[in-house]
Amino acid sequence: MLFLTRLTQNCALHPHKTAIEFIHPQRSQVVSYSQLEARVQQTIGWLLSLGVQPGDRVALQLPKCLTFIYLHLAVMRLGAISLPLNPDYPQRELAYFLTDSGTTLFLADAAAQSHVAPVVAEMPASSQTIYLHPTRDDDFAARLDAAPAAVLPRLPADPHQTALMIYTSGTTGQPKGAEITHGNLTANLNALHQAWGWREDDVLLHVLPIFHVHGLVVALHGALHAAATTILLPRFVAAQTLETLMQRRCTVFMAVPTIHRRLVECPTAAACDLSHMRLLTSGSDRLPDDLFYRFQQTFGHTLLERYGMTETGMNLSNPLTGERRVGSVGLPLPGVEARIVHPETEELLPDGQVGELQIRGPHVFKGYWQMPGKTAAAFTPDGWLRTGDLGLRQPDGYFTLKGRAKDLIITGGLNVYPPEVELALADHPAVAASAVIGCPDPEWGERIVAVIVPQPGVTVTAAALREHCRQQLANYKVPRTILFVNDLPRNALGKVQKAQLRQTLCQK
C-alpha cells in the first residue's frame, strides 16, 4: 500500500488522535488525523481550482508550518510533484530552481514578497505564483473555504510516478532535481517502520527543517505512516527541545550531530530525565565518537546512527536492538542492498577494504529531473547507485564510512559542494583564484574556509567577500573563514591540491 493511501487509512482509523501539534509562541495548533485529512482534501480542491494537473511541479517556499504540510501532502495526492525549497535561498538560486524545474505553481511566503518578486517577474507566463500568509491562520483557511470541495479522494496509484523533487548540488555544474517516486517513499517508510519499530503510540519531537529528506521524509512522513503523533517546533532551540521532550513525554527524536552536540552542551542537560524515550537517531553527517559517548553519559541513551542521502532516503542503520556500534552507520535496512567496490574498476572488494559504497533497492530514486546524462552516470549498468562515499564492510555486515570520493563539505548536516562557492567567489572582481575547503569544527562538523588569491594590486576584506557570497548563496554556504594567500598549491596538471591546503590551513 502506497504511503499516501496508508496515511488516508490512518486518518480513518484514528480520527480523534493528534496527528500534529504545532508549538508556536503566537499560533500553536493541534490537528487530529481526521482534521488533517479534511484539510488535505480541501487543499486538493483549492489546487484543482488553480488548475494543478498530475505531473505539475508545485514549489513550496514557506516557513515550517501546518500550511506547508497540507500543501505538500495535497500536491502529492493529486499526482503532482511537491518541490520544497529552503526559504533562505537568495534570488539567483531560487531563479535556477524555479526555471530548471519548470515550476507551474509557486507558493511563496508573502513576508518574502519583495525578495521573491524580481525572480517571479522573470518566470514564464505559464507559471503562477501565489503569496500566502502562513503566519496568519485565517489566510489559508479562507482560501480553502472558498474553494470547491475535491470530488474524489484522489490517491495516486502509480508507484513509478514522481511524488517529490528535492534539489541536490553536485561536484560539477548546476544542482540537480532528484525525482523521488511514490514507490520510493513507500519502500523506505516500510523499511524504517520495521527497522526502528515505529508504533502508533510514538510521539516524535520534530525540530528539523522540512525541505530536506531528513525532516520531511524520515521524520514527518515516518510518524504519519505509523499513525504516531508529531510535535512540531518551528525551529531548533536546545533548551526548548529538552523541555519539550520531557513535558510531552516524546518517545522519538531525530537530528544531526550539530543538534545533538548543542543538546549535550545545553546548561539544562544534566537535569534532564529522558528515560521515557525509546529512539534517538543521528544522521546527515558523521557522528563523532566523542559525541556518541557524551550523549550516552549525559542522557543515558545510545544514539542510533544511520546513513542516507536525498537520492535514496535511508540505506543503512544501526539496529534498534543489538549493538549500536560507535563510528559505524550499521547494516543495510530491509530490502536495501549495499556493497563496497573498487572506486575505479567497480569490482567487488572483500570485507575490510575501503572502496566506494554502492546502493540498490526499491527506495532508490528514479533519476535527476531532465538530466538523462547525469542520471545514467549516477548508476552502474546493473542498477547500483554510486553514492560517492567511501567506506568498508566489516565481516559481521556493519558498514563504516571512510570519507568521500567527491569534493564535498558537510556543515551542520547540510551538503555544500566547494565548486558552487568557488564560482560565486570568482564573480568578485578582486578574486584572482580561490579554493574552498572544509576544516574540522567541533560544532558544525566542518566549517567552510575559502582560500583566496587576490588580483594583483587590489585590496579586499574578508567581510566584503563574505557579503558578496551572501548575495549569491544560501547562508550556510557562505565561508565562515576567509584566508588570503599569494598562491595556491597546484599539481603538475594545474589542479589545486586541496589535501595540502587542509593540512596546512585547517589548524589556523
Q: Stretches 3-11, 46-54, 224-232, 407-415: which one binds ligand MLC (CB under 6 A)?
A: 407-415
Q: Stretches 56-64, 347-355, 372-380, 408-416: which one binds ligand MLC (CB under 6 A)?
A: 408-416
Picking from 2, 37, 39, 41, the residue whose alpha carbon sits closest to that of residue 17 is 37
Task: State in angstroms the smallest separation of the CB of 296 from ligand MLC.
Answer: 21
84, 183, 412, 418: which one binds ligand MLC (CB under 6 A): 412
Picking from 485, 454, 449, 453, the residue whose alpha carbon sits closest to that of residue 466 is 449
Which amino acid belongs to residue 407?
D
Task: State in angstroms the smallest separation of the CB of 126 from ligand MLC.
Answer: 31
Unique residue bearing C-alpha cell 510535535: 231
71, 205, 256, 473: which one binds ligand MLC (CB under 6 A): 256
Q: Which of residues 468-497 bind ligand MLC (CB under 6 A)?
A: 475-476
Binding flag, residue 424, ligand MLC (CB under 6 A) = no
Binding flag, residue 236, ligand MLC (CB under 6 A) = yes
Binding flag, residue 309, ligand MLC (CB under 6 A) = yes
90, 367, 413, 479: which one binds ligand MLC (CB under 6 A): 413
The total number of residues shown for the chain amounts to 508
Q: Stretches 132-140, 210-218, 350-358, 483-491: which one binds ligand MLC (CB under 6 A)?
A: 210-218
Q: Which is nearer to ligand MLC, 57 or 212 (CB)?
A: 212
Q: Which is nearer to ligand MLC, 47 or 409 (CB)?
A: 409
Binding flag, residue 231, ligand MLC (CB under 6 A) = no
CA distance 343 to 330: 21
CA distance 447 to 84: 26
Q: Stretches 156-164, 334-342, 411-419, 451-459: which one binds ligand MLC (CB under 6 A)?
A: 411-419
CA distance 153 to 150: 7
Q: Which of residues 12-51 bind ligand MLC (CB under 6 A)?
A: none
214, 225, 261, 324: which one binds ligand MLC (CB under 6 A): 214
Q: Stretches 169-177, 294-302, 307-315, 369-377: which one binds ligand MLC (CB under 6 A)?
A: 307-315
CA distance 71 to 402: 39
Q: Which of residues 59-118 bind ligand MLC (CB under 6 A)?
A: none
Reported for 11-17, long-range contacts at CB under 8 A and 24+ positions apart, including other chains, are 11/36, 11/37, 12/37, 13/227, 14/200, 14/227, 17/227, 17/229
CA distance 113 to 102: 20
Which grid coordinates belong to 230?
508529531
Nearest to ligand MLC by Cβ — which residue? Answer: 412
Task: State in angstroms the smallest separation of the CB of 264 from ligand MLC.
Answer: 14
Picking from 445, 167, 397, 144, the residue whose alpha carbon sits closest to that of residue 286 is 445
Picking from 397, 415, 414, the residue whose alpha carbon sits closest to that of residue 406 is 415
Task: State in angstroms the smallest separation of the CB of 412 from ligand MLC.
Answer: 2
Binding flag, residue 414, ligand MLC (CB under 6 A) = yes
Q: Stretches 122-130, 151-159, 252-260, 372-380: which one binds ligand MLC (CB under 6 A)?
A: 252-260
CA dist 253 to 106, 201, 257, 412, 442, Å?
A: 31, 14, 12, 17, 22
Assign 69 to helix, strand or coil. helix
Q: Which is nearer to ligand MLC, 34 or 240 (CB)?
A: 240
Which grid coordinates belong to 401?
564510512
Binding flag, residue 411, ligand MLC (CB under 6 A) = yes
Binding flag, residue 391, ligand MLC (CB under 6 A) = no
Contact 184, 362 (CB under 8 A): yes
CA dist 77 to 4, 144, 169, Å?
A: 7, 16, 27
Q: Radius of gyration (Cα) for the chain, nearest Å? A: 23
Contact 69, 82 (CB under 8 A): no
Q: Which is nearer to ligand MLC, 104 or 317 (CB)?
A: 317
162, 258, 281, 282: which one binds ligand MLC (CB under 6 A): 258
Binding flag, residue 283, ligand MLC (CB under 6 A) = yes
The DSSP string of 125-172 is TT-EEEEE-TT-HHHHHHHHHHSPPPSS------TTSEEEEEEE--SS
CA dist 199 to 73, 182, 195, 319, Å?
A: 21, 22, 11, 16
Name 441's bridge partners. 445
44, 105, 259, 280: which one binds ligand MLC (CB under 6 A): 259
Task: State in angstroms the smallest separation of the CB of 8 from ligand MLC.
Answer: 26
CA distance 201 to 391: 36
Which amino acid belongs to residue 202?
D
Q: Which is nearer to ligand MLC, 129 or 387 (CB)?
A: 387
33, 444, 465, 482: which one binds ligand MLC (CB under 6 A): 444
45, 215, 367, 454: which one binds ligand MLC (CB under 6 A): 215
CA distance 214 to 309: 9
Q: Stretches 141-149, 374-382, 406-414, 450-458: which one binds ligand MLC (CB under 6 A)?
A: 406-414
Task: State in angstroms the smallest separation of the CB of 209 from ligand MLC.
Answer: 5
209, 222, 388, 454: which one binds ligand MLC (CB under 6 A): 209
Please give the residue ranges that form the binding site for ligand MLC (CB under 6 A). Answer: 208-209, 212-215, 236, 256, 258-259, 283-284, 308-310, 411-414, 444, 475-476
